[in-house]
Structure 1
Amino acid sequence: MADLFQIGLSGIYSSQAKLSTTSHNIANISTEGYSRQSVVSETAGAERYGDYFIGTGSIVAGVERAYDQFAFTENNLNTSNLGYATETYEQNNQMDMLLSDESTSITQPVLEVFESISGVADNPNMLESRTVFLESAGNMVSQYNRLYENLEIQYSNINNDIVNSAQTINQLADNISSLNQQISSLLGSGNASNTNDLFDQRDKAINELSEFVDVSAVTTDNGMMNVYIGSGQALVMGSDVLTLTTVNGDPDPARKELALTNGDHISLINGERLGGKLSALFETRNNDLERAFNQIGQNVIGLTHSINEQQKEGLTLEGEIGTDLFNDVNSQDSMESRVLAHNDGLGEALLTVRIDDLSSLTADEFDLVVDDYQVATASSPETITFTSTNRTTGETSTSTVDMSVSQRLEIPNSGISVGIDSITSLSAGKEFTLRPTRLAAQEVTLQHKDVAKVVTADSEIKTVASSDNTGTAVLRTNSILGNTLDLGEDNLFVTINITAIDATTGEVSYDVLDTNGTAISSLSGTTTPDLLTGKATFAFAGVEVEMISGSLATNDTFTLNYNETGDGDNRNIMKMADLQTQKIMNNNKATFADVYNGMLSEVGAKTANADISMQSATILQSQSYDRIQALSGVNMDEEVANLLQFQQHYSVATRVISVASELFDTILQVAR
């Protein structure tokens, strides 16, 4: 007959295990990531008595946790999407508030500049109105500088977040690896039930990891879990861990990038493809924030360069040709700062980027790659073949520069050209990054506050190209020296006539014609355009005329008109005031205000879309979390009911032992 004592004891053991597990559940009801556990009981088998079998009680087969692999994977995916959406919204919202807030936006300072210009136009001889204009211009410059600084702070903070996120990911990876080893060790020793809490801890670490990156987890036969991030990069392989590190970007060291290190081997990875919070940080920095730098730069270059150029079209109170009011956007330092050379070991060259055409200027950046470089020989000139790629549109262009003819490369549809200042050595594959407008808001300065240098009057001598010219050259009176040619009332203009252009040297021969079209022999001369800048200077009779853009053709003519100015002349300052409403930018389709407002609309739309995405991601993540909790979470009412039930089971099991004891005593009494 079956042993009642053993059967009772098995019931006690089983009930005791269930009571302990239920108590464990209750104790961890507030523990994040804890999965409800339950005891699995099995029959202990049976003993044969003749033609029948009698059971021998129960045994505890193990302790299981409530777990669903699909729900776990889905929640990790939704957590990653929420991390991405939240970070995207927060970063774009910060940028949107910075650009649109009255205290930081440049809209009002620019408006005040043009209002003060109108004040000068109304009272060109009043020094007070000029002072107001210069003060407004200084305030505008300061606002551009502050706006750049604030964007740079956000840029720096994103870089710091990338570094901190990488450190957190490494800590989580180390934790997962440690848990893998503990789980494998326990499973190897046959203590599978003791791994439940470790499984929960590992799942929690993986879920925390999914906030930063997309995660794919694969369980191996020994209970370990391999973890892959992003598009499949291994992070944890059993007990082995790869380290996520940050490195300085190439060619921009201020642009932090990520790499996976395994011993001495380092592999760069694309942060934008990692998913989660990290992907949002990279995308915001690389696409939205850097574009904001470029768009603000495009705006300030267009505004200040236009005013500078108009300054040079008139006369100061001192009777001199006007000079730059703001910094020269094509100073050597500015042009050099627009080019970044990649650290690829394929040679060195000093390249510069010049702003040539405001209407074609965009906020785009360009990749420039050397396809071929040939040094000069006795029979052939030095040549370089470049391929440029617009990073925004993907448009590519390949051009070959003959260094004996020109040291300048035109980038199509960009409003810029690249100067090849010097070459140390070059090999095919050498890369450069062109950022024409990136630093403009940081570099902008007010050159002076001398009210006498504010140009209101039209220039004394205006240079006008003939409509019949076949060349594209634009000439401008650069300076008027002492003892200038007296055009007088009977000789109101002279004409520069291009007579010949040497095809080999590029030397330009010209005559100076009087009002009647007769060459003034003493004023004929030659000039040679600079190979690097493409500019040439015509100097005669105390007048210096500069070719500021384009190219000359034989028989092109340019007339120098005499302009008798006097007090109260405001023609030049009126033209400067008109710049506010002229569609100078974006292929002559936008004003300065349109460019800035377009940027505001673009950032605002991205912020609104990011907000919608964040709300949707929040709902999906909440739903997937609720599904896990419905399956794995601890329900207090259910656990209390189980506690009472298992308590009764325990009591009944002890009663079985009591019955067995009583029966045994009865047998002993009969035997006496």
Structure 2
Amino acid sequence: MNNLFSLAKSGLSVAQSALSVVGSNLTNGMSDTYSRRSLVIGELGGMTTGNGFYGYGATVTGVDRAYDAFANKQLRGSVSNWASLNGRMEQLSDIDNMLGDESDNVSVSINNLFKSMATLSATPDDGPARSSVFSSLGVLTQRFNDSGKRLTALEKSTNTNIETSVKEINSISDQLAEVNKQLERVQAQNGTPPADLLDQRDALLEKLSEQIGIDVTENSVSGRVDVTLQDDRPLVFGENASKLQATASESDPDRIVVSYVDSNGTTTPVNEASITKGRLAGLFKFRSEDLELAKNELNQIAFMMASRMNEQHRLGETPAGVPGGDLFSLPPMKAVANAGNAGGGTLDAISVTDYTNVKSENYSIDFDGTNWNVMGEDAW
């Protein structure tokens, strides 16, 4: 009779535990960070008699967590790829909105100018036609200036987004290091890492992969994870987290660059080309390719058009016979000194002797001790 009571008691205890697990699954089923649990039931033991083996009932031997390391790795990779493309797309949409407005963009203003100039060429002495050309010139100038300001503002917002992403990466890394610490402590005490901490760990890894591409190595015993960047530098190692740092570039103070800070506090620049996944990668790619191209193309169109029209206008005369002058005034060209320059050379002025050779790219100016040398971006 006592054995029957013991069997019933163990069965009820297991059933109660099973209901708790089912209830937890139902309650947290809508949570994106929750992994389904299942009860692991084993025999409580028993005794062997002449008539065979008699069990003492059932007991809970553990709680399994539905987890697939390979699937999680694939998920993190997909999240990183999506975040990279999405981060770039968000910024590109701003350029598209700027250039796609048919009522307010450079292309429309250029077409309107050419139309008014065609009308003037048919009747050069017509006052209203001349006024229309000058009005179109003024509108085009304003469009160039407005577009340049909007691209500059977009560059600043991209810098801000890069700084925000770096802060998020550092914050998540610190949280992961703390979770690692708790996992090691609990494993040492109980032998099994708790499922809620493992869920928290995986949620943080997914958030981190959204910001930057990572590789993860998991300790199968404690559940601790070590995280490295795509260039193999450690970001989280056990209870320690390294840092990323966003600062102004030495060569261009208007450009934010990212550096890696190791455990000794040594700072080294991050090669942007090595970051190919995550939101940070999308921001880097947008800035170095899309935004840079838009700025350079806009600047070249404005410079070439103004220079060519000034050249042509100087060949003409006013109705009174006065030689023509410049239609457009171009701002003086400026060079930004690299903060790391060690020499004492100074650059007083920059001028273009042949505007037809100017390309839509950035230029570098170096002083070799005797001469100044100008190189296009392709020669860097």
Is the contact between residue 230 and residue 273 of structure 1 (CA under 8 Å) also seen in structure 2? yes
Separation of aligned partners in 1, 2:312 and 2:292: 30
What corresponds to 1:176 in structure 2?
Answer: 176
| 1:481-630 paired onto structure 2 within 5 Å | none
| 1:57-96 paired onto structure 2 within 5 Å | 57-96=57-96
Check 1:239–1:269 CA distance in 2 against 1; reply closer, same or farther (3 A cut): same
Separation of aligned partners in 2, 1:222 and 1:24: 23
Alignment gaps of 5+ in structure 2: none
What corresponds to 2:218 in structure 1?
Answer: 219
What corresponds to 2:269 in structure 1?
Answer: 268
What corresponds to 2:293 in structure 1?
Answer: 291
What corresponds to 2:328 in structure 1?
Answer: 326
What corresponds to 2:307 in structure 1?
Answer: 305
| 1:422-501 paired onto structure 2 within 5 Å | none
Secondary structure, counterpart of 1:112 in structure 2: helix
What corresponds to 2:204 in structure 1?
Answer: 205
Is the contact between residue 363 and residue 374 of structure 2 (CA under 8 Å) also seen in structure 1? no
Is the contact between residue 2 and residue 54 of structure 1 (CA under 8 Å) also seen in structure 2? no
Secondary structure, counterpart of 2:211 in structure 1: coil
1:251 Cα deviation after fit: 1.2
Kindly provide the amino acid, as one letter, of the partner of residue 266 in structure 2: H
1:349 Cα deviation after fit: 2.6
Kindly provide the amino acid, as one letter, of the partner of residue 361 in structure 2: D
Which has the greater radius of gyration?
1
Secondary structure, counterpart of 1:349 in structure 2: coil
1:315 Cα deviation after fit: 2.6
Output one character per residue of 1:566-601: Cα deviation in whole Å (capped at 9) or x when no partner. Answer: xxxxxxxxxxxxxxxxxxxxxxxxxxxxxxxxxxxx
Is the contact between residue 365 and residue 372 of structure 2 (CA under 8 Å) also seen in structure 1? no
What corresponds to 1:278 in structure 2?
Answer: 280
157-166 or 341-350: which moved more? 341-350
Is the contact between residue 272 and residue 278 of structure 1 (CA under 8 Å) also seen in structure 2? no
What corresponds to 1:666 in structure 2?
Answer: none
Matched, 1:340 2:339: no
Kindly provide the amino acid, as one letter, of the partner of residue 283 in structure 1: K
What corresponds to 1:349 in structure 2?
Answer: 345
Choose between structure 1 and 2: higher helix proportion. Answer: 2
1:2 Cα deviation after fit: 8.4
Check 1:121–1:385 CA distance in 2 against 1; reply closer, same or farther (3 A cut): closer
Task: Give the CA RMSD over aligned residues.
Answer: 2.5
1:317 Cα deviation after fit: 4.2
Separation of aligned partners in 1, 2:296 and 2:204: 40
1:304 Cα deviation after fit: 0.8
344-353 or 140-149: which moved more? 344-353
Kindly provide the amino acid, as one letter, of the partner of residue 6 in structure 2: Q
Is the contact between residue 246 and residue 257 of structure 2 (CA under 8 Å) also seen in structure 1? yes
1:273 Cα deviation after fit: 2.9
What corresponds to 1:363 in structure 2?
Answer: 360
Separation of aligned partners in 1, 2:116 and 2:138: 12
Check 1:154–1:227 CA distance in 2 against 1; reply closer, same or farther (3 A cut): same
Is the contact between residue 250 and residue 339 of structure 2 (CA under 8 Å) also seen in structure 1? yes
Matched, 1:43 2:43: yes
Kindly provide the amino acid, as one letter, of the partner of residue 343 in structure 1: A
Output one character per residue of 1:332-365: Cα deviation in whole Å (capped at 9) or x when no partner. Answer: x32xx1x333222421433454333343322122
Kindly provide the amino acid, as one letter, of the partner of residue 188 in structure 1: A
1:303 Cα deviation after fit: 0.9
1:310 Cα deviation after fit: 1.6
Secondary structure, counterpart of 2:356 in structure 1: coil
| 1:118-133 paired onto structure 2 within 5 Å | 118-133=118-133
Output one character per residue of 1:274-299: Cα deviation in whole Å (capped at 9) or x when no partner. Answer: 21111111111111111111101111
What corresponds to 1:632 in structure 2?
Answer: none
Higher relative contact order (CA 8 A, sep 6+): 1
Secondary structure, counterpart of 1:344 in structure 2: coil
Output one character per residue of 1:203-236: Cα deviation in whole Å (capped at 9) or x when no partner. Answer: 0111111111112111135432112233323221
Output one character per residue of 1:515-569: Cα deviation in whole Å (capped at 9) or x when no partner. Answer: xxxxxxxxxxxxxxxxxxxxxxxxxxxxxxxxxxxxxxxxxxxxxxxxxxxxxxx
1:82 Cα deviation after fit: 0.9
Is the contact between residue 165 and residue 278 of structure 1 (CA under 8 Å) also seen in structure 2? yes
Separation of aligned partners in 2, 1:2 and 1:54: 13
| 1:232-247 paired onto structure 2 within 5 Å | 232-247=232-247
Is the contact between residue 174 and residue 241 of structure 2 (CA under 8 Å) also seen in structure 1? yes
Output one character per residue of 1:305-335: Cα deviation in whole Å (capped at 9) or x when no partner. Answer: 1111122223334543322221146xxx32x
Separation of aligned partners in 1, 2:23 and 2:328: 76
360-369 or 140-149: which moved more? 360-369
Kindly provide the amino acid, as one letter, of the partner of residue 238 in structure 1: G
Secondary structure, counterpart of 1:189 in structure 2: helix
1:154 Cα deviation after fit: 2.0
Identical-pair percentage: 27
Is the contact between residue 192 and residue 222 of structure 2 (CA under 8 Å) also seen in structure 1? no
Output one character per residue of 1:115-169: Cα deviation in whole Å (capped at 9) or x when no partner. Answer: 3334443444444433322221111100111111222222222112111122222
Secondary structure, counterpart of 1:64 in structure 2: strand
1:78 Cα deviation after fit: 0.6
Separation of aligned partners in 2, 1:280 and 1:204: 22
Check 1:133–1:145 CA distance in 2 against 1; reply closer, same or farther (3 A cut): same
1:243 Cα deviation after fit: 2.3
Kindly provide the amino acid, as one letter, of the partner of residue 357 in structure 2: S
